[in-house]
Amino acid sequence: MFATPSIFAHTQSDLKITKISHFRDPDYKKPTFAQARDIVVVETNAGTTGIGEGGSKEMIQNCAEMLIGEDPYRIEHLWQKVYRGYFYPSGRERLHAMGALDMALWDIKGKVLKTPVYELLGGLTRNYIPCYSTGFPNQGSTKETAKACMEAGFYAFRTGGSVIESNDVFDAHQYLDDILRTCEQIREGVGEKGQWCIDFHARFDTAEAVTLSNMIEHLKPVFVEDLIRSENPGIYKTLRAKVNVPIAVGEQFGDRWDINEMIENHWIDHSRVTLPNVGGISELKKIAAICETHYVGMIPHFTGPISTAALVHVLGSSSGFVMAEILGNSETKTNYLNDDYLTFRDGKLYPNERPGLGIEFNPKNVDLINVIDKGSDYDHPMFRRSDGSYTNW
């Protein structure tokens, strides 16, 4: 392994990562999502800590070992090291762990510099983040529920189509007319100037997705989400030519290489990629730049409370159209974060001025899963260019 040349010593701070603790909320159990809401705390030799969310025990262990002894200020360098330090490219599960750790590094830097993370990302570009509601509390009918969502100040009401299905049989053709009637009620509820959106949940094949998209086009959804399965992004080239509704895709994706072709070819109108799935704040800012270049909106999927707090910093410092997802009609409450970890009111998320991510963590209300305080036992060859930057080995 190559040592860092002394000529580049000025690029380092005196901080070192000494320990990474991995916690789990014992009250959170959602096995249908392959993305846990685990918590990581990165500690430094100066006593400053940072918090992040995401990853599994094995992946956090694997990634965290590569950070012990490193300078937490060098966030991009460490992202490259962990992402590229193994011969086999990082997959989505590894990115999920990287996302948690990357969040924590930004939190540390903000705390040390006594400034919110959004200031480190270029400063605020907007006063608040408009939100849409998933699972807004039922008001007795679809129409009244959608109306109440608008009255609560949300930008849009989201539906899954209200499809009732058994555990083992789903026939898309049986539900098309029912979904259309639901969407008509929603449009009536939100009003002519209100906004609504629908998630197809990737449950349709191409023909059904095209048929339903065209059936609801006149109801003007602000976006239609995950029309078909996500494994083959190129299929959206075919879909784009067949439908006119705004398309939103990405909640099942990872880094920018998963979605860049869809953005650059204008197969989608909104990106749904999110934290921590993409690999952290560092990566999401790059995806935001790609979106801005191609006039694609950013409407990240909800994953957990810490990630939502981090999204406020990224979306708040990004240009273009953005929305954030809120479950129900209020922020998620936890007993391990400060009550004001988010500033949410009237269907909107507001930035706060606290340093870092603005989060205070109480470890007494979660379970300690693992502690990583020594580096990897494996050899990770590190090749550098003459200027000291990282390159593949």
CATH class of 119-350: alpha beta
Say whether domain 6-115+363-391 belongs to CATH 3.90.1640.10: no
Please provide the distance, in angstroms rounded to a whole number, between the alpha carbons at the two ends of the chain: 10
Query: pLDDT (tens digit, 9 = 90+) per residue, 43-99?
Result: 999 999 999 999 999 999 999 999 999 999 999 999 999 999 888 888 999 999 999
Query: pLDDT (tens digit, 9 = 90+) per residue, 189-233?
Result: 999 999 999 999 998 899 999 999 999 999 999 999 999 998 999
Q: How confident is the model at residue 305 (pLDDT cuts 50, 70, 90)?
A: very high
pLDDT the model gives residue 393: 84
Query: pLDDT (tens digit, 9 = 90+) per residue, 11-26?
Result: 578 999 999 999 999 8
Q: How confident is the model at residue 1 (pLDDT cuts 50, 70, 90)?
A: very low
| Cβ atoms within 10 Å, residue 174 | 11
Cβ atoms of 253 and 99 closer than 8 Å: no
Query: pLDDT (tens digit, 9 = 90+) per residue, 276-294?
Result: 999 999 999 999 999 999 9
Cβ atoms of 141 and 391 closer than 8 Å: no
User: In this predicted model, which residue has the larger pLDDT, 43 or 391?
Assistant: 43
pLDDT the model gives residue 329: 93
Among residues 152, 133, 298, 140, the alpha carbon closest in space to that of 199 is found at 133
Query: pLDDT (tens digit, 9 = 90+) per residue, 217-275?
Result: 999 999 999 999 989 999 999 999 999 999 999 999 999 999 999 999 999 999 999 99
pLDDT the model gives residue 177: 92
Q: How far apart are CA 85 and CA 76, in angstroms?
A: 14
The residues, ordered by sequence, that sit 6+ positions from 163 with a Cβ below 8 Å of its Cβ are 170, 175, 178, 179, 203
Is the pLDDT confidence value at 30 over 80?
Answer: no
**Can you give the residue ranges of every domain in the chain?**
6-115+363-391, 119-350
Q: How far apart are CA 204 and CA 171, in angstroms?
A: 9
Is the pLDDT confidence value at 315 over 60?
Answer: yes
Q: How confident is the model at residue 166 (pLDDT cuts 50, 70, 90)?
A: low
Residue with tokens 């270049």: 293
Q: Is the pTM of this model over 0.85?
A: yes
Query: pLDDT (tens digit, 9 = 90+) per residue, 111-144?
Result: 999 999 999 999 999 999 999 999 999 999 999 9
User: What does the CA dihedral 259, 264, 266, 270 come to, rounded to 10 degrees?
Assistant: 50
Cβ atoms of 294 and 266 closer than 8 Å: yes
Q: How confident is the model at residue 172 (pLDDT cuts 50, 70, 90)?
A: confident
Q: How confident is the model at residue 379 (pLDDT cuts 50, 70, 90)?
A: confident
Cβ atoms of 220 and 181 closer than 8 Å: no
**CA separation (Å) from 12 to 5, 6, 64?**
12, 11, 19
**CA separation (Å) from 8 to 16, 148, 373?**
16, 58, 26
In the chain, how long is the greatest CA-to-CA distance? Answer: 69
Mean pLDDT score across all residues of the chain:
92
Cβ-in-10-Å burial (0-12, 13-18, 19+) of 348 comes to middle
Is the pLDDT confidence value at 7 over 60?
Answer: no
Q: What is the mean pLDDT of residues 377-387?
A: 87
DSSP bridge pairs for 13: none
Q: Rounded to the nearest 10 degrees, what angle do helices 92-112 and 281-293 cross at?
A: 100
Cα radius of gyration (the chain): 22
